[in-house]
Structure 1
Amino acid sequence: MNILIIGPSWVGDMVMAQTLFQCLKQRHPQCQIDVLAPEWSRPILERMPQVRQALSFPLGHGVLDLATRRRIGRSLKGQYDQAILLPNSLKSALVPFFAGIPKRTGWRGEFRYGLLNDVRTLDKTRYPLMIERFMALAYEPGAVLPQPYPQPRLRIEPQSRDAALAKFGLELDRPVLVRCPGAEFGEAKRWPSEHYAAVAEERIRQGWQVWIFGSQKDHAVGEAIQERLIPGLREETANLCGGTSLAEAIDLMACARAVVSNDSGLMHVAAALNLPLVAVYGSTSPGFTPPLADQVEVVRLGLDCSPCFDRTCRFGHYNCLRLLEPQRVTEALRGLEGPEPVNVLAEVD
């Protein structure tokens, strides 16, 4: 049984999609799973043992280009028994339709009747979590999802990890705290840089080093965090935002002793690496896309105005993040690691 997955367009969603792949392998151990998705997702998919191959989709998010979709579909004719669509858009249904895949499964979305022939109606109260909505597509309509739910797990090759360490001149002589201060969704998911700096200072004084990950757009945030640290501590941080590929970021993050992250794609990567993780939530909710790992502490204030799921604060104050003090995160980190480490750099001031 060959199955084509039409993958999502966000890092976190792609990580969470592994729960679907795991369910498919549980139901059909001999099935072969290919994923058609943007090229950026290849490093994630290559680290999922359930995926046979990642197929690069050349069109950007929101681009129709009917001719290209038809060409890709026709190139896939006769290769698959089923297609499962994770996006709900009409555009995402075109390639499986042009490919003539016999069974085309997905949630009822925008005008997809005829394009899909296994159309599901989503009951959001029955499946409140995104992973539940992904996993349900592996089963017959109305099926009870088996418990416990699978957790995403990325596979790291030591050779690629060591190559990334050498490329960026990083050493593992001290424990590593990874911070992911970015959020592609918008400012309403970004914990303030001064709070990240306070957590970094506490860890560095205890003998840790700090690595900062994110996209090129997050580089300025990484610099702002570094600039808030005094000389002697600042040198213990590495701002890698925009400097690494996604593959390198994943491999380097696997070296961490702990991670502090906004609700972002990299938060889900950290969870899929099963790292001790403190997840900071502001405008969004862990009730929909929680990090899936064994050692997770979610920190949020739960103000009356949150979660709002807005990209920017409608009131302009961002209190759900600004008022969330660094002490809450440092306490959560201590809870994940056990006894408080010795303050070996207390003399730095």
Structure 2
Amino acid sequence: MHSILIIAPNWIGDAVTTQPLLANLKVLYPGSKIDVLASSWVAPIYRACAEVHQVTEVKFEHRKLQWDLRKQLAREIKAKNYQACFVLPNSFKSALIPWLANIPFRIGYRGELRFALINLALDNPSKINRPPMVEHYSALSELLKDSESLPLTQLAPKLNVSSSAKQSVQNKLQSANISSDLIYVMCPGAEYGPTKRWPTEHFAILAQKLIAENPNIQIVLLGSKSDHVLGQEITSQAQLNSNIHNWCGNTSLDEAIALIGMSKAVISNDSGLMHIAAALNTPQIAIFGSSDPAHTPPLSDRARVIWLNMPCSPCHKRECPLGHLRCLKDILPEQVLATLNTLK
């Protein structure tokens, strides 16, 4: 197997958890060339994977078939003669391109009426008994594994920081007059919804306490453009504007990866940036509310998870069905700070 294509998932956290699959494929096929077809949103993750030869970045639009674009991509991919393709999203449209390109082995999970498009498939696990996402994706490599293959062992994602992204971040820090010696990153967002977001007032109090311990600490808030308002709330509530910098929406994902890699610690919700911190082995506190840390844990020895494991959680709802959001509100800044201090 000398040429493999990966159809990437569409969420940052999911993309990070696919890296062990790539590493395991390199164990099975050391001479293989692994290319990735990814949306612009997650392409930087694969640029940070040492196993990837080439990333093709495509502007896929959510909930649109984009038939002409997929046919064009299929023609380009067919010319590259891939032997196998791992289709990691569960959607019908994600399986169209490798099928149109006539790639011999099309591997993925069954779902969304795509049984004719995938010819090596596993059943999707039930929502009640779901394995960790890393295991979920890595299991697909077993479909190509023969009895003489090497054991598949890596289950912790690993990312690299590009020198260009690191230089770009250093330039931004210098322009903003921020010392890079004591940077703490806070990630207040979570795309899924409010039940995965620790309250901004708790982030603000934590920021105040950290800076009270050491006035040289600089706190950078990271996230998407939609998280910028959360960053504004934190800076306003903390009233320490000279030490807190709202960069939500003001960095590329490549730059966010670099900044997380050079920070002293990361405090985040269960989000894509949480998985990036774990894959960079940066000390971190991961705060869980409505989601399940057994399913999407940060896989790092330097990560600490705070989850109250209340009777109503994990509910996996976007809004608190009971209206109180105690699974997050009852995680106090003092508890997070005490846990953070154990990482130093």
The answer on whether the counterparts of 1:203 and 1:209 sit within 8 Å (CA) in structure 2 is: no
What secondary structure is seen at the aligned counterpart in 2 of 1:76? helix
- Does the aligned pair in 1 maintain the 2:183–2:264 contact within 8 Å? yes
Identical residues among aligned pairs (%): 40
- Given the alignment of the two structures, is residue 328 of structure 1 paired with residue 330 of structure 2, yes or no? no
Deviation at 1:163, TM superposition (A): 2.5
* Aligned mates of 2:242, 2:31 — CA distance in 1: 51
Which residue matches 2:208? 201
Deviation, structure 1 residue 41: 2.0
For 1:246, which of 241, 245, 253 is the aligned residue? Answer: 253
Amino acid at match of 2:112: E
Question: Structure 1 segments of 4 or more deviating over 4 A?
Answer: 123-127, 141-148
Which runs of no fewer than 5 residues in structure 2 stay unpaired? none
Partner of 2:72: 71
1:135 to 108, 125, 138: 138
Task: Structure 1: state its 5+ residue gaps.
Answer: 338-349
* Corresponding position of 1:113: 115
Residue number in structure 2 paired with 1:345? none
- Give 1:264's aligned residue: 271
Query: Is the 1:177–1:203 Cα contact (8 Å) retained in structure 2?
Result: no
For the residues of structure 1 that align with 2:247 and 2:68, how far apart are their CA atoms? 39
Task: Note if 1:151 corresponds to 2:151.
Answer: no
SS at match of 1:308: coil
Matched-pair contact (CA < 8 Å) for 1:9–1:61: no
User: What SS does the aligned partner of 1:89 have?
Assistant: coil
Quote the Cα distance in structure 2 between the aligned partners of 1:97 and 1:215: 34
Contact 2:290–2:327 (CA<8 Å) still a contact in 1?
yes
Give the match for residue 188 of structure 2: 181
Counterpart for residue 95 of structure 1: 97
Query: 1:136, 1:143 within 8 Å by CA — same for their partners in 2?
Result: no
Say how many residue pairs are matched.
Answer: 335
Tell me, what secondary structure is at the counterpart of 1:40? coil
How far apart are the structure 2 equivalents of 1:143 and 1:300?
40
Q: Take 1:160 and 1:178, find their aligned partners in 2: how far apart are those partners?
A: 17
Does the 8 Å CA contact 1:4/1:34 hold for their aligned counterparts? Answer: yes
| RMSD, aligned α-carbons | 2.0
- Measured against aligned partners, the alpha-carbon deviations of 1:254-288 in whole angstroms (never above 9, x if no partner) come to 11101100001111111111100100000001111
Within 5 Å, give how 1:252-291 maps onto structure 2: 252-291=259-298
Residue type of the alignment partner of 2:299? L
CA distance in structure 1 between the aligned counterparts of 2:159 and 2:88, rounded to whole angstroms: 20
Q: TM-score, normalised by structure 2?
A: 0.92
For 1:171 and 1:285, locate their aligned partners in 2 and report how far apart those are by CA, in whole Å: 36
Alpha-carbon deviations, 1:36-84, whole Å to 9, x = none? 1102222221111101111123321221132322221122114200011
Shift of the 213–254 alpha-carbon distance from structure 1 to 2, 3 Å rule, reads same
User: 2:85 is matched with which residue?
Assistant: 83
- Name whichever of 160-169 and 285-294 sits farther off: 160-169
Q: What is the CA distance between 1:179 and its match in structure 2?
A: 0.3
What is the Cα deviation at residue 239 of structure 1?
A: 0.7
Q: What is the TM-score with the length of structure 1 in the denominator?
A: 0.91
**Structure-2 change in CA distance of 1:123 and 1:312 (3 Å):** closer
Identify the residue that residue 17 of structure 1 maps to in structure 2: 18
- For 1:96 and 1:142, the matched residues in 2 are separated by 20
Matched, 1:47 2:54: no
